[in-house]
Each structure stands twice: as C-alpha cells, then as structure tokens.
A and B are shown apart, each in its own frame.
Chain A
C-alpha cells in the first residue's frame, strides 16, 4: 500500500514542476500576444476550444499527435544511451518512400501481407538510416547529432529524386508521386472516430519502448551505457551492439511513422511527406524528458497546439508562427524548470522509496 502511495506521490511531484512551467509559458505567451495588441484571454479561450474544446477538436488534436509519438521515439530511445539524434525527419521520409514502393510492388497480394510488408519496409528504411548513424558513431566516432541532421537532408534529396525519377507514377502529372496504393492497402480511421490507426500504433510503440527500456535487461544495459559509457564498457557490456540496435529501433519507429503517413494520409509517397513531424518529434522527446511513456501526453499537447493554430489565425489575425512561438516558449521554460526538478517535495516520502532514484 505504501508503495503505491509513494509511487503516486512521486508521480504527482514529478508533474508539479512541468505543470507550473506550462502555466508560466501560457502566461509568457499571453504577455507576448498582449504586446502585439491581442487580448490574451481570448487567445487562451480559442486555444482551448481549438485543441480540446469539443469532440471535433479532440480528434483534430489526436490526429496531429499520432505521427509525433513515433518520431519522438526516434530521439527518446537513443537518448537512453546518451545520444542526441535529430534525424527523425529523414527516417520518416525514407520509411514512407520504402513503404509506398513496397505497397505498389506487391499490388494484388493479400491485404494483411501487403500491410505487414509495408510496415516492415518502412521500419527497415528508417532503421537503416538511424542505425547507420549509430554505427558511424560507434565505429568512426562521428558525432550522431550532426550526422543524423546531414543524413536527413540527404534522405529528403533521395526521396525527391526517386518520386520525380525512377519511382514516379507517370499519371501523377503536376504533383510528382509514386503510384497510389490500392484502396484496400490504406489504413482507415478508428471505429467511431476520425482518427486513423496510426495513433494506436504510436501508443503501442511508446509502451513497448518503455517496457524495453525500463523493464528488460537490454534497457538496463542501455541506460548504463547512457549513464557512464566507460563503466559500462569495463563491465563488459556490448556497447556497440546496444548502440546500433537502439538507434536502429529508433529509426524503425520514425520509419513506421512514414509508413503510416503514406498508408493513412497520402496514399502515396511524395514531397508532402516532408512536413516537419520529425523535427517536432525532437521537441516532444526532449519535453517528455526522453521518457517513452511521457512522449504520449506531450505529443497530444503539441497536437493540440497545432490544432488551435488555425483558430488563432482566423479569428484573431495572429500569424501562423504563433504556434512556433508558443512551442518555443514552453520548451525554454520547461528546460529552465529542470533546475527546479527534485527541489519541490510535496509529500514526505515513506522510507521504502529509494530516494526517488534520481541523480542529484
């Protein structure tokens, strides 16, 4: 019983600081819009209405959150090893391209087989890209942040080259794309909702990533590498394998996001895949403090901010960039609040709690 109470208390405590930071960000954003002559209260009201105010808004928010969960995992998983990877966009784009090519090549085969193959192809492409980043880091000591960024630019160029060259559907005249997927191979909405299955896939992957990282030996080893690589190596952990497998899994998550975009949204691969989900995923991962489970609510929060952007533009005449400004403020304030983390103690912990297991 005490254990549960303590866990609950720890969770609440962990939420206090980010919650306060969120409120502070809202206040700062309000002050910002007030400076350009817009009533902050109106802004808050519209943001709430656009993001969570109705069933329609909720669906809007969740739809936008779906790809963010997966791309955030692309950053959150390697972060357990202490790596900063910002190449989710590239993995998503290549994943989408590979999935579309597979779906078109297997046209006519049973639905389950094609969907499975598309998912695998997307994941494989993403895994190859980000796993490659991990391998470069391990074998050649190439900085993973920079290489994942450069590879993203290269991946986008390759995708553009393919959809306007070898993989182009001659019928896609003014919007160069791969051939369209047959209707049967497209991912539909969840029952009774206007949100596609990508959301469920994302949540499942996030949970799986959390289990892997916090409940398995693999995850324990990975976090040990992240905590102290030298000690991990001395303890005989296969650092290289951990590194490459984790980055490959991370890439697979973003690649799967690409597959979902192709199968649920576009029905083909084209330049519209480059929509910034990868870069927003990086933010989501950092705000979730790289915790795969926390990625889910943070992605929903970001989906909500995105969903409310339209209303701010239409009703208050605020620029589209308001969304960016607000996200930026939240991010900065939340990071600054990290310093407060652990200093706030709402409940006296019962003695069995191992000091919240947080590093000082």
Chain B
C-alpha cells in the first residue's frame, strides 16, 4: 500500500466507483422514462434529449458561470423535447416509437449543430461532495467523490415510487397507462396526462445529460453519449417499471462499464472489446432470463406499445 497502489483490490473499487460515476445519467434517464412509460407511452427520443441536455448545460454553464443554471437549462430543454414528443404522439395515428426515433435524431442533430462552439471552451463544473474523509486511501477518497445529482437521483427513486403508489397524481398516471378507455370513462384527459408525464421524463433526461457534460466525464463533445440514453430506456424494461429497480439496474450497468478499464489497469488487456461489451451482454442476458412469452411482464403498463 505504501506505493499508493491497490493491485487487484483496485478492480472492485473501480467497479464501485464506476457504479457511482457512470450510473447517474442512466439513473435519471431511466427514472424519467419510467414515469413516461407508466403513462402508457414510450419515448425513445431520450437519447436525443440526453445529448441536447448535455450540450445545453455545458453552454449555459460556460456562458453564465453557474453550473447549476446549466442543469436547470438542460432540464428545461429536456422538458421541451418531452412536450414535443407528447404533442406529436397526441395526434391521431402517430406511432410513439417512430416519434422517439425522430426526436433522437433531431435532438442529437441540434445539439451537435448548436454545440460546435462549445467543444473547446471549459465550462464550470458541478462540485462533488466528499464522502471518503474517513479513509486514508486517496483512491477510496476519490471513489467517494459523489456528485449531488447522483444523490438527488437516489432520493428521487423512492419518492417516485411513493408518488406513483400513493398520490392522486400517481394513480391517474397509472390508470392512463393501464387502460386509456377506463381513464377516459372516468373523465381524465389522456393526452394531457401523458404530456405531463413525458415532459417530466424529458426534464429528468435533460438533467441526466447535464451530468455527462458538467461532471463526468465533464466535457462537451460529440462522442459524449455512446448510446446512454437509449440504453437507459432498455434498463426501464429490465427494471420492470419500478423506480427502485431502476436504481439497481443503473448501478449494475455503471459498474459493468467500469469493469473493462479496471481489469486492463491491472494488466488484463486481452479481449477488451468483449469486456467493454459486458454491460450490453449482461442487460440482454437478464432480459432473456426474466422475460416470458406466456404472460405480460409484471409491472408493465398495459397501454405500452412495446409490451403488447
């Protein structure tokens, strides 16, 4: 230990640290998507929203000097995209998956277009909170440098779960997601409920994007998202539309993403492409293991097109 090295202990530590560092965008997008899907609609466009959020946050943080303003702006940009998705889907005969793919393209395109001047400058970053003060090891201290957004995400999950189960709002949302017909009969405006749910989902996805550009890796460029947004949508199905399970799924995915580099840093460099694909393999394997052709997935909103 005296030379500051952890050896093989570095691998689990890196996976833990990676789970904290990498999981936040997944967490926010999957919570947002969870909310949207509970209303009976899927928004694949969150990939575009995430990228747009990342760019907006970086640009605003750079322009204003306040990273939290950037986070807010990212959330607002996300809200706008969510609202756009919902309003187009509210039209007759429009397929929500198609609209999602369209907004994925539009969001990414706009972010790249408007983000060109921000590739170079450095924007003020979100501060991290140190939870590792008790440890003498620099590595542990660094691993426990936790961003406030991660904590917000962690707190949001149980809140969302509680809200969905126990509030009037949550009930309406679930009724709309389970049976549009029943909700209509009860006098709820389906499109309005879905608009709100999708806009809120977009807000969260935008905030998730701000984490990428303002904390980790903490820079704006066009390769920033390697499909985090769309993978997070997959995680929702994987997490059975349960906000608490979204937390675990995001942590698992984040940890798995850190496995490849961590193994290489202790000298296991063979087959790194395959290690790097580990999160996708893991997600797919769990999906296969837990899906069934005979019955609808537990927790799946009945109105959701992907589960029918």
Contacts and interface: CB of A to CB of B under 8 A. Distances in A.
**Binding partners A and B:** yes
Interface of A: 84, 86, 136, 138-143, 145-147, 149-151, 153-154, 157-158, 160-161, 164-165, 282-283, 286, 319-329, 331-332, 335-336, 338-339, 341
Nearest to B276: A157
Given A153-B277, A153-B280, A164-B273, A324 B113 contact: yes
Contacts of A154: 277, 280-281, 284
A282 B101 contact: yes
Nearest to A141: B293
Interface stretch (B1-9, B11-19, B90-98, B167-175): B90-98
A313 to B, nearest CB: 11
Contacts of A139: 293
B137 interface: no
Given A319-B113, A338-B94, A341-B93, A143 B105 contact: no
Contacts of B48: 328
Interface string B61-99: 000000000000000000000001000100111110111
A138 to B, nearest CB: 7
Given A153-B227, A322-B113, 10 more contacts: A143-B306, A149-B231, A150-B284, A153-B277, A283-B105, A286-B101, A324-B112, A327-B109, A331-B102, A338-B95
A339 B297 CA distance: 31
Nearest to A161: B273
State the main secondary structure of chain B at its contact with A.
helix
A157 B274 CA distance: 6
B234 interface: yes
B291 A140 contact: yes
A332 B274 contact: no
A336 B234 contact: no
A28 to B, nearest CB: 11
A336 B84 CA distance: 11
The bracket for how many chain B residues form the interface is 35 or more
B224 to A, nearest CB: 14
B110 A328 contact: yes
Given A141-B293, A160-B273, A325-B110, A84 B284 contact: no
Contact of A319 (B101, B116, B284): B116
Given A147-B287, A154-B280, A331 B105 contact: yes
A150 B231 CA distance: 8
Given A150-B283, A154-B280, A325-B106, A335 B112 contact: no
Contacts of A86: 101
B108 interface: yes
B114 to A, nearest CB: 8
A339 B106 contact: no
A146 B287 contact: yes
B273 A157 contact: yes
B78 to A, nearest CB: 16
B59 interface: no
Interface in B137-171: none
B103 interface: yes
A143 B287 contact: yes
A241 to B, nearest CB: 15
B112 A319 contact: yes
Contact of A157 (B98, B99, B277): B277
